[in-house]
Amino acid sequence: MTFTYHPFSNVVAKFSEYLNMGYHVVLISGSPKILIQKIYKGWLEHNNITLIASELSLNDFKLHTRCMAHHKLYMLDEHFQQTIYFEAGYSDSLSDKLVFTRCKSCFQVTEKGIIESLSILH
């Protein structure tokens, strides 16, 4: 059996729009970095994209760094200044609320790929 993943076209279009406007896009994922690198290979070759994700060792198949919930904010702070704010944040999980506190606008991506605006109190 082969696993094939296709990102939602409207989400890809939104991220492409940000890149075309010259924004720096940061992908923060709880999924292993190696998986994200395969799914978004073409994107990650772009200079204006930073990937922050869980680290999985292929030698022992252990998750060495888990990029989930409050760890996402910690890992974000390791890459950027703690005072950085983003134009927008997108997530499929409300557990990313801490990351959303660094975003001017927040959006949730539903299981069907629908982008919904969120009102997150900072």
- In the predicted model, what is the mean pLDDT of residues 79-106? 88
User: Which residues span the domain enclosing 81?
Assistant: 9-118
Tell me which of 85 and 121 has the higher pLDDT: 85
Per-residue pLDDT, 12: 84
Per-residue pLDDT, 1: 46
Nearest alpha-carbon partner for 48 in 69, 83, 20: 20
**Domain assignment of residue 22, yes or no:** yes
Question: What's the CA gap between 28 and 30, in Å, rounded?
Answer: 7
On whether the CB atoms of residues 50 and 27 are closer than 8 A, the answer is yes
- Tens-place pLDDT, residues 19-71: 999 999 999 998 889 888 888 888 888 899 999 999 887 777 666 677 887 88
**Domain assignment of residue 56, yes or no:** yes
Per-residue pLDDT, 92: 87
Total count of domains within the chain: 1
